[in-house]
Amino acid sequence: MWYHRDLSRAAAEELLARAGRDGSFLVRDSESVNGAYALCVLLVILTN
């Protein structure tokens, strides 16, 4: 499921880190703007 109503930013980061797949995402309710949403995306950057 990609929509998580009552998920904090920290919990979203943890959930995505556990998924571990580049491009994994979720949408959650914003903690700072009432009625807004936050898009959280896991981006894995590989360096040489």
User: For residue 31, what pLDDT is reported?
Assistant: 95
Tallying the residues shown for the chain, one arrives at 48
Low-confidence ranges of the chain (pLDDT < 50): none
Count CA atoms closer than 13 A to 21's CA, side-chain side: 5
User: For residue 11, what pLDDT is reported?
Assistant: 97
pTM of the model: 0.81
Mean confidence (pLDDT) of the chain = 94
- Provide the residue ranges of all domains of the chain, joining segments of one domain with +: 3-41
User: For residue 10, what pLDDT is reported?
Assistant: 97
The topology under which CATH files domain 3-41 is SHC Adaptor Protein (3.30.505)
